[in-house]
Amino acid sequence: MFNRTAFHLVMAVVVLAALSCRSLDAHEHWGMQEGSVDLASATTLAFGPDDILFIGDAKAATVFAVATADQNRESDRAPIAIQDLSGRLATQTASQDVTVHDLVVNPRTGTAFLAVSADTQPMIVMVTGGNQLEVLNLKKCFFSKAVLDDAPEDKVVKTGRRTRNPRQDAITDLAFFENKLLVSGLRDAVASSSVRELSFPFADQERGIGVQIYHAAHGREEETSAMRTFVPLMIDGEPTIVGAYICTPLVKIPVSELGGDADRVNATTVAELGNRNRPLDMVAYERDGQEYLLLSNSARGVMKIPTHGLAEAPGLVEPVRGGGTAGQPYETIDSLDGLLEMDLHSDAALLVLMQDQNGKQNLMTVGLP
């Protein structure tokens, strides 16, 4: 998430060896204190400078910055291949129910980190050499945190015939870009869809700004659905967020508009990629001199979307009915069918969590499409 991409862009008692996250350098330079990181959830990850891992804890409406002290070197970067990852994690954590919520790769070392819940216990797991798994020790580490004080209340609410807890979407994605942490999710407001910039080192934090989009599949303006995944990148020299929503509008927002006095921004809808679908993850990469977005989805496969033309895209303003698509073109990558989570593993490779036809989830390195 140029976090994952623009930046080149798991605690139950377990049998896993624990990796210390002590890092004096990060402590000195980034205003961190030594202590225990007590996660209520671990839903999304991003890397920052000096091997610092950002952990989005949606339930606590908090972003933690943790000094990982990742000791791997660039020369240690090797392909990863772990079959039945959930099974491996369940065995080693003596858990019945394991979910991998996100993955991210340290761009300096190629080390992969996973956001995991094991029988509801949140933890961060690192993939080390030889496809070994180690739990990041969060009981004694250097860290800092930012609490989102305008996050939705942690309670179940009813909207129409549906019930949901909006706190679960307080943090949906993270990206470190141009020395700030970008956070998408929901805020406690009428216009609840939100993107915010957090200064780092964390200081007095800005409240989230509302995002209004035109949802072509629904034929109306909307401002209450969270951006599910996004990447920051440069579009004709302008720092820009490109993000995707459920059902599946793709929008762009100049980063410069996030820091003003306005309560909301109007995003430009550059594509409608089909209804009855949930975007899962997105990265940006270059190949053969061209830049692309790679978007994984719950029901519409993996889309390879060229960024060429995004600067000039005027935005959709008319409905797109019947499950159709419009706007920015894309190519479906059939070889990546079943992709759940991903990040760049190198300039030429992608680390992916794939679910096969038998429901097993496999973690592997593959070539960029």
pLDDT tens track for 163-177: 999 999 999 999 999
Q: In 3-state terms, what secondary structure has residue 229?
A: strand
pLDDT band at 25 (very low <50, low <70, confident <90, very high): low
d(CA 352, CA 339): 7
Please tell me the predicted confidence (pLDDT) of residue 10: 34
Assess whether pLDDT exceeds 50 at residue 14. Answer: no
Task: Tell me if 37 sits within 8 A of 138, measured CB to CB.
Answer: yes
Buried b (16+ CB within 10 A) or exposed e, 36-59: ebebebbbbbbbbeebbbbbbbbb
**What stretches of the chain show up as alpha helix (H) in DSSP?**
24-30, 85-93
Please tell me the predicted confidence (pLDDT) of residue 46: 98
CA 21 to chain centre: 21
pLDDT tens track for 292-323: 999 999 999 999 999 999 999 989 999 999 99
d(CA 177, CA 197): 10
Cβ neighbours of residue 362 closer than 8 Å, sequence gap 6 or more: 81, 82, 83, 84, 85, 353, 354, 355, 356
Task: Tell me if 302 sits within 8 A of 333, measured CB to CB.
Answer: yes
d(CA 112, CA 313): 35
From 319, 322, 238, 245, select the one nearest 282 (Cα to Cα).
245
Please tell me the predicted confidence (pLDDT) of residue 110: 94
Assess whether pLDDT exceeds 50 at residue 275. Answer: yes
Please tell me the predicted confidence (pLDDT) of residue 43: 96
From 36, 102, 26, select the one nearest 69 (Cα to Cα).
26
The whole-chain average pLDDT of the chain stands at 91
pLDDT tens track for 317-342: 999 999 999 999 999 999 999 999 99
Please tell me the predicted confidence (pLDDT) of residue 18: 41
Q: How many CB atoms lie within 10 A of CB 216?
A: 26
d(CA 267, CA 290): 24
CA 120 to chain centre: 20
Assess whether pLDDT exceeds 60 at residue 6. Answer: no
d(CA 264, CA 258): 8
pLDDT band at 13 (very low <50, low <70, confident <90, very high): very low
d(CA 108, CA 110): 6
Domains of the chain, start order: 18-367 (2.130.10)
Please tell me the predicted confidence (pLDDT) of residue 24: 52
Task: Tell me if 17 sits within 8 A of 93, measured CB to CB.
Answer: no
Q: How many CB atoms lie within 10 A of CB 360?
A: 13
Please tell me the predicted confidence (pLDDT) of residue 259: 81
Please tell me the predicted confidence (pLDDT) of residue 130: 84
Please tell me the predicted confidence (pLDDT) of residue 75: 62
